[in-house]
Structure 1
Amino acid sequence: MHPTTLSPGQERLLLWTLAAVQFTHIVDFMVMMPLGPQLTTLFHLSDAQFGTLVSAYSLAAGASGLIASVMIDRFDRLRALLVLYAGFTLATLACGLAPTFGTLMAARIAAGVFGGVLGALVQTIVGDVIPFERRGQAMGVVMSAFSISTVAGVPLSLWLASRWGWHMPFFSIAAVSAVLWLAVWRTVPGMSGHLAGQAGQGPWQRLRAVVAEPNHWRAFGLSSLMVLGSFSIIPYITIFTTTNVGLRQDQVPWIYLAGGVATLFTARLWGRLADRWGKVLMFRLLSLVAVLPMLALTHLGPVPMGVLLLVTTGFFVFVSGRMVPGMALLTAASVAELRGGFMSVNSALQSATMGVAAWIGGVLVSRSPSGQVLGYERCGWLALATTLIMVWWVGRLRVHTGPMSVTAPAPR
């Protein structure tokens, strides 16, 4: 592999462009949940039907990740990104144009098909372009998209929906994505170094190469552990805090606003520290500290609003914070020739683990006759157990530190 030919300025522009791509498909996924009241009334949906509508995106993303794993490494990264992002933009536009529940469901499935692979491809590009010693900070920039979508993207989308109807958030996301497609075309370099040595290899041979590598399975195990404990907690935060802690429904947005603002600043900090102190060490430290707010949150009783915000903000800062060095390590778990397929399989497995974790959380908790949530502390103990395993497991991962050769973007 040869070193990248991007200048520092081109590198920064690339990272913020990729973060913007992440922002659009994260907002597209997240905005469906708060639009529930409008959609269930408009289309006369049951709770089960709306739940299916929300989960369709994740299920489609997981399935497309598996399918993409057999072919994504056959294409230049830039061309793959342009095609996938164009498909995502059109699918999101179709969501806004959908006149019936059936057409909206089809559009959400299409958005999930493209959006799920987009996330894996963005992380693959970061792994290809950014040297390992600076990849923590780079991943912090890209993952700040999650914070920005929480702080600005979803609230703005809901404001648009309140003023002009539920269609408008999807029209807006599609319009922004169309502009960003042009930015991707102009700023993302061509990346074909991973194609070297692939002549004569069929798609199933590449998939076999991905799943036959023991280090990939160590990485898949780490990726699953990162979400298993936390996603048994996250889906039930609103229910638990409003029934057991005493939070009013109109105060719920403060939890996500405070958490989003805090992580917006800390994501890049964790990335810089990971590059300076070592990604494995930083991952272990953040994972162990994250146990404190996870246990505190799942054991809370009635407390003042300030105490609750302190706990939930700590939860978001450290639980999402460990993902920054964690994903930097995962992008280095595969050689460049297999990285796209590896990250696609990882994305699919991570989506499946999120669903399993949410189901486990639902099994662990129950309701009292008065409506109080019972057993939520069990989710905290599960998070502790998975964290302890994860802190040991990360030491078993082998990393590949060489960047892939790229071509600086020519004027287009």
Structure 2
Amino acid sequence: MNPSPEKTDTIKKPVFAGAWPVFALLLSINLFNYVDRQVLYAVFPLLKTDLKLSDTALGFLGSSFMLVYMFCAPAIGYLADSGRRPFWLGAGTILWSMATALAGIVKNYTQLLFARSAVGIGEAAYTTVAPSYLAEYFSPEMRGRIMGFFSAATPVGSAIGYIAGGLIAQHFGWRAAFYAVGIPGLLLGIAALKLPDSRLSSASAQPPRLSDYLQLLKNRVFLFTSLSAAAATFTLGGLAAWMPTYFTRYFGYTVGQAGLAFGALTVTAGLLGSLFGGYAADWLLKRSKDAYFTVSACGFCISIPFGLAALHAQCPQSALVFFFIAETAVFAYSGPLNAAIIACSPENRRSMAFAAFVFIMHALGDAFSPTAIGALSDMFSLKTAVSACIGVLGFAALFSLLAAAANRGKN
């Protein structure tokens, strides 16, 4: 049984026994979390042709996943804080991996919609438990970096989903893409089932109550942090869904080329942004209580002008450069804001805290941004729709600053 984070402040031990194997396993699972999630978007053009879908219908495939994902999260967070968390880590991983592979055998849009929605149940189980479970193996002084590395699985997994999904689909069809990315998660999920629960018995002595969610919403630091992440997720979710299609429409890329180009951009920018944001926040935390929020707000403000410049670029090379700078800046929020949620929530309610965080982040973020962009694209143009999506990052910066002000008042 590992020490609690509060105990680490006394003994000043930054890493506990078994921390790095657990980190490696959960990071690997988080990687496939985003591979399985983003492979759908790489095959959008093929699905549109094969199943004869509108852009709105395509966008709703992403939104349906998010709706199921966010509504399942609060119930799973409550159950996870009530019992053994590794069960939810492993079972969730196995479930979403099976659902991804089964998407390859669907015959129509309704069946595909059901399969992608089922992925949301499994991913909700994993995402609500993994960050707080992992954080207990490291001291608070390291959590910005650890969450930065953990969050780096978002761009890396997304890139693999784009690249592998696009290339496999181009050569073997979109069904093969779902088969290929769904299988590895089954083995990782089985390994996660065998993890110990590192939570101290004293931390779990008080059983959680559903009313604890109301207490979290009264915490202004938690609320503004969640709203900031929601605005960022709106933009990132929308871009993840539509940028490969953007490059096929405006620059004549093939499905494979678009997936490779945007995938390579996303993995590089996401890695740099996530790691820089985590390290910068840990460094600044020694000097300022607002470190998590300052780093995030600066990244959001930098990303907006470069993202808009990319949409007005006259050649794909310039567009990719501008998008690279914009994505690097925006991804700086991922480690700091996850660490902020851990810092402002009780240890024995952290699965519930992340469940509420997930719900707010996706309910107001990417649960509907792919559909919204698709609808705006049908009414106006895809370029106009993506421009509006990038503008939402202004709200992300505002809420980060409000979280910083609330944090100063709390302390």
Give the TM-score category using the shorter length: 0.7 to 0.9
- Shift of residue 340 of structure 1? 0.8
What code does the residue aligned with 1:284 have? Answer: T
Which residue among 59, 67, 71 is the counterpart of 1:63?
71
Instruction: Tell whether the 8 Å contact from 2:227 to 2:399 is kept in structure 1 after alignment.
Output: no
RMSD: 3.7
Which of 8, 13, 33 does residue 21 from structure 2 map onto?
13
Cα distance in 2 between the residues matched to 1:372 and 1:32: 19
Q: Percent identity?
A: 17
- Residue-by-residue CA offset, 1:64-92 (whole Å, 9 max, x unaligned): 11322332211122122122222223322
In structure 2, the gaps of 5 or more residues are none
In structure 1, the partner of 2:397 is 387
Aligned residue for 2:302? 292
Shift of 1:292: 2.5
Partner of 1:332: 343
Residue type matched to 2:294 in 1? Answer: R
Aligned to 1:218: 221
Q: What displacement does 1:140 show?
A: 1.6
1:81 matched to which residue of 2? 89
Give the Cα separation in 1 of the matches to 2:51 and 2:140: 49
Deviation, structure 1 residue 381: 5.3
Which residue pairs with 1:190 in the alignment?
197
Q: Deviations over 1:33-60 (max 9, x none)?
A: 2222333444444444333323211111
| 1:297-356 deviation line (CA, Å, top 9, x unaligned) | 225534454543332111111111112111111122211211111211211111111147
Determine which of 281, 295, 303 is the counterpart of 2:291.
Answer: 281
Q: How does 1:367-382 map to 2 (within 5 A)?
A: 373-374=383-384, 382=392
Distance 1:227 1:23 in 2: 21
What is the CA distance between 1:99 and its match in structure 2? 3.9
| Cα distance in 2 between the residues matched to 1:372 and 1:101 | 23
Asked if structure 2 preserves the Cα contact closer than 8 Å seen for 1:141 and 1:268, the reply is: yes
Runs of 5+ unmatched residues, structure 1: 401-412
Work out which of the residue numbers 270, 277, 289 in structure 2 matches 1:270. 277
Q: Distance in 2 between matches of 1:7 and 1:281?
A: 22
Secondary structure of 1:32's partner? helix
Deviations 1:359-398 (A, max 9, x none): 89759978998x5845876655553354134223234238
Match of 1:206 among 195, 205, 209: 209
Count of equivalent residues = 393
Range that drifts further, 15-24 or 150-159: 150-159
In structure 1, give the amino acid aligned to 2:401: V
Preserved CA contact (<8 Å) 1:224 1:350: yes
- Aligned residue runs from structure 1 range 10-409, under 5 A: 10-185=18-193, 188-193=195-200, 196=203, 198=205, 201=207, 206-213=209-216, 216-228=219-231, 231-232=234-235, 235=238, 238=243, 247-250=251-254, 252-253=258-259, 254-278=261-285, 280-281=290-291, 283-299=293-309, 301-355=312-366, 358=369, 373-374=383-384, 382-397=392-407
Distance in 2 (alpha carbons) for counterparts of 1:173 and 1:398: 44
With normalisation by structure 1, the TM-score equals: 0.81
SS at match of 1:189: coil
**TM-score, length of structure 2 as denominator length:** 0.81
C-alpha spacing 1:74/1:20, structure 2 compared with 1 (3 Å): same
- Listed one character per residue, the Cα deviations across residues 113-168 of structure 1 (whole Å, up to 9, x for unaligned) are 11123122111212333221111111122112112223333311332233333232
